[in-house]
Chain A
């Protein structure tokens, strides 16, 4: 049983690390993340990269939806902006990846602010539908603005490069994606220890009360949109470098729903939840693919049923988590931890 957790200052209450045990565990986790690409098979490495990209985007959406309480159905659109920015820049200017990624994030943030502007007048579900409209327009632009986006064919780009180094394989991409994901999480974690992050939370809890407390709603809502789409833009840029081809169909509406689902399944307003949700939602389809591969020798029809089953499981996960576990995987994680903290007593 863990004891002696009494905090005496607000600073201690807000600290990222509350105990040395936590630091040790985190150092271990970093070591595992570092060692992972040297041991994992190429398939696992591919999954690791996918999860990393999903973590960045989910964290961004978590800032907007989980912490500020604004639902967005435009996350895939913002990712698309980032991806097209990276693709266009690397095709036409050949800039190294830190520059293109930053540009992707900034441009996506600018588009995010534009999309967030209706939040001046509408909120809640109306705002969600405004973001839906934005994603329809963005998709239209991706498909029709051929000189820049390459139309339905899309753009294919060269691998990411820096100082003459080329990041061609999944192995190399892992060392861009995962550090960025860790950085993104630290950024978000620190955000909610600042005035801005706390203003977001106040807006989520009751926007009118927040305004009475002196938080300018529009400014902070737009800031939340900008930050969230910045994350989405970076994730989209990484997506572009990872697959090295970007088409309008890479960012369908269902992808926005996927990220919303990841936030919900993980736990809204919880960064750890975002990570767990992103990993879980990315890995479920892969697990189902594995299961199908195992089943096929016994039951030859299995592959036919895989894609519908995936749809059903995806929907059932959303509905099931919302009804039975509204705080998501993060809450399950907390319960498991509490069990060990309190052991040998029962909570």
Chain B
């Protein structure tokens, strides 16, 4: 066994996992606050990445302005989706709400194909190009810097939820909606905020992932990997999302490198199946107690 190769692959996988963790965080924020499983998160990421392409490639705005613009665009998209399509579904069965997000995903894919055509695109490069070495291990610069930016965002988010007023409102709503409402928290606004923040995290991750792997209307398939991450970590656990994100990212990359690309999905879904059978609520998820 070639340990150097294994180390490099693992490192790349862990960096990818960091981005997964960021997307999963966006997913978990939405789920915690609104109990909606968002199947459209991959497509929201894709949309933000295409926005970046339009700003930086089409309008030739400097990437350092285009990235925040595109991320804000993605966040706005999340907010609009919540207001127009998720809000009317309040109180409906989870099946229906999930199907609405699947419908939204399809609409977004169609819109992207309509505006930017179905051909794969390359994002203008905006990350430094010098190769990164950690000890002896080489890491592609795009992945390394993507990881760093993603981590910075992640830490910002965790601090925000821990200390800010909005973060406290979000956590309060997540733990008990009725109590939060009676304490004067505007639950509707929190719902909207959760979608905005969730989409914001996903959008940034979307641009970073697309910068390394290219962009096409099939980009949203990454949403499936994220689904595995959040189920393995526990749908409503931020810690779970972080740990499972890093682990699944690593596993996917290692399986892809050693067994071939076609083994990436089955490998992660095998972990998912095992988790579902032995720990149905994920590694750190809350057990739901049901009463008649």
Contact = CB atoms under 8 A, between A and B. Distances in A.
B262 A133 contact: no
A144 B292 contact: no
B92 interface: yes
B124 interface: no
Contacts of A268: 95
Interface residues of B, number: 42
A312 interface: yes
Interface in A204-252: 206, 208-209, 212
Interface in B217-256: 224, 227, 231
A110 B111 CA distance: 40
Interface residues of A, number: 45
A63 interface: no
Given A125-B94, A129-B231, A257-B102, A307 B113 contact: yes
A322 interface: yes
A260 B265 CA distance: 23
Interface of B: 37, 85, 88-89, 92, 94-96, 98-100, 102-114, 118, 224, 227, 231, 262, 265-266, 269-270, 272-273, 276-277, 280-281, 290-292
Contacts of B290: 208
Contact of A323 (B85, B94, B224, B266): B85
A129 B227 contact: yes
A179 interface: no
Contact of A133 (B103, B114, B272, B291): B272
Nearest to B81: A319
Contact of A144 (B113, B224, B262): B262
Interface in A171-219: 206, 208-209, 212
A206 B265 CA distance: 34
Contacts of A314: 103, 106, 110
Contact of A318 (B94, B99, B281): B99
Contacts of B99: 260-261, 264, 318, 322
Contact of B111 (A144, A260, A312): A312
Contact of B95 (A65, A132, A312, A319): A65
Given A71-B98, A132-B227, A140-B262, A311 B109 contact: yes
Contacts of B96: 264, 322, 326
Given A121-B276, A126-B231, A309-B114, A318 B106 contact: yes
B266 to A, nearest CB: 5
Contacts of B106: 257, 311-312, 314-315, 318
Contacts of A128: 95, 98
A326 B96 CA distance: 9
A137 B103 contact: no
Contacts of A310: 110
Contacts of A69: 95
10 contacts: A69-B95, A71-B98, A136-B224, A136-B266, A264-B96, A264-B99, A312-B114, A317-B103, A319-B100, A326-B96
B177 to A, nearest CB: 19
A98 interface: no
Contacts of B102: 257, 260-261, 315, 318
Given A118-B277, A311-B106, 8 more contacts: A121-B276, A121-B280, A129-B272, A132-B227, A137-B266, A137-B269, A310-B110, A315-B106
A125 B98 contact: yes
B280 A122 contact: yes
Nearest to A318: B103
A118 B113 contact: no
Interface string A251-283: 000000100110010001000000000000000
A116 B265 CA distance: 20
A309 B292 contact: no
Interface string A316-333: 111100110010000000
A169 to B, nearest CB: 34
B292 A212 contact: yes
Contact of B107 (A126, A261, A312): A312
A113 interface: no
Contact of A71 (B95, B100, B227): B95
Given A125-B94, A312-B110, A318 B100 contact: yes
A55 interface: no
A310 to B, nearest CB: 7
Contacts of B89: 322-323
B292 A208 contact: yes
A205 to B, nearest CB: 11
A133 B269 contact: yes
Nearest to B292: A208
Contact of B265 (A129, A140, A326): A140
Among B92, B95, B102: residue with most chain A CB under 10 A:
B95
